[in-house]
Structure 1
Amino acid sequence: MLAAFAQELAQDLTAQRLRALMRRTGETFAARHVLPQAASVADMQSAINQVWRPLDWGWVEIAEAEDHLALAHHCAPLRGAFGDSHLVWSTGFLEGAYESWMRRLGADAQLRVTQQQASDELGTIVYRFGR
C-alpha cells in the first residue's frame, strides 16, 4: 500500500521535495516521541531504541568520532514500505527524526544529520551528525 502511495507522490514531486517532506515527517514523529534527557551517547542510543523497538523499526548504533556522531540505523523498513526506487528520498524520515531528537537534547542548531551512504540490502543506513 505505501509503495503505491510512494509511486503516486513521485509522479508529482521531485526527489528533493519528497526528501524534504519525509524529513519534516521525521521531525513531527520525533516531536510526538519525546526522549528523556540523556547524560551520554549510550543513554541517548538506548532512549532512541526504546522508541524504535515496539514499532519494529530496527535500531540505531551511535558512535562518537572526532568531529561528529556516526549513526547506523539497522533494519530500517523503508525499502519494504516504499520500494527500492524511493530510498533516495524516504530515508529523509530518519534524518528528520534524528536531527530533531538531537536538537531537543541540546545540540547546537548548526549541526545537521546527513545520510552518508545508501541503504544496504539489510536496511542499514549510515548518517552523520555534525557540521
Structure 2
Amino acid sequence: MSPADLLDHYRSRCCSPQWQGFVRALCEELEQGLDEADRARLMARLGGRFAAAHPLPEAATLQALQDAANAVWSALDWGRVEFEEQPDCVLVRHCASPLAAAGGTGRPWLAAYLEGVYRAWFHAAGGAPVLDVVCTQADAGHVDSYVLCRVT
C-alpha cells in the first residue's frame, strides 16, 4: 500500500461512515441545483459560519494564528494547516481535510469551505479589508492550497 493509499484510508475514516452517504447525496443535490460558482459561494458562506462559531483567540504572530487554527482542526480531526509568509502574500496549505473523502473526489468547489473559514479567521485577526483568501488548488495530493493576498 502506497503512502497516498494509506492517507486516503485514514482520511476516509475521518468522516464517520454514518455521514458519508448523507454528505455525498447532499453534494449530488447541490450539483443538480446550483452551478459551480453558486456551490462555491455557498460553501464559502458555510465556512464563514464555521469560523464564527469557532473563533480563534488573539494572536500576535502568524505562527500563533496557525497554532490556534490547528488546535481547532486537531480537536475535530480535520487535518492540519500551515501558513507561510511570502513577500506579497501568505500561503495557506491545509493537509488531510476530510472534505474530499466525505464528498467524493472531483468536486473542487468543496475547497471553498476552507476558503471561507480562513477568510473569516484572517479578517477577525485584523486582516485588512483589501486582503482576501483565494483557493489556488483543491485536493492536490491531499492538500488544499490557498493564498491570502491583496485583491483589486
Same fold (TM over 0.5): yes
Moved >3 Å (runs of 4+): none
What is residue 43 of structure 2 aligned with on the other side?
22
Residue 35 of structure 1: how far off its partner (Å): 0.6
Match status 1:96 vs 2:141: no
Match of 1:110 in 2: 130
User: Which of 85, 90, 102 is matched with 1:69 structurally?
Assistant: 90
Per-residue CA shift, 1:77-121, capped at 9, x if unaligned? 1111111122x2110000000010000010011111011123123
Q: CA deviation at 1:4?
A: 1.4
- Aligned AA for 1:124? V
The alignment of Structure 1 onto Structure 2 pairs a total of residues equal to 129
Match of 2:149 in 1: 130
Partner of 1:60: 81
Secondary structure at the counterpart of residue 146 of structure 2: strand
**% of aligned pairs identical?**
37
In our comparison, the structure showing a higher alpha carbon Rg is 2
Q: Distance in 1 between matches of 2:33 and 2:106?
A: 15
Instruction: Determine if the alignment matches structure 1 residue 79 to structure 2 residue 100.
Output: yes
TM-score normalised by length of structure 1? 0.95
Question: Structure 2 regions of 5+ residues with no counterpart?
Answer: 1-20
* RMSD of aligned residue pairs (Cα, Å): 0.8
Q: Structure 1 stretches of 5 or more lacking a match?
A: none
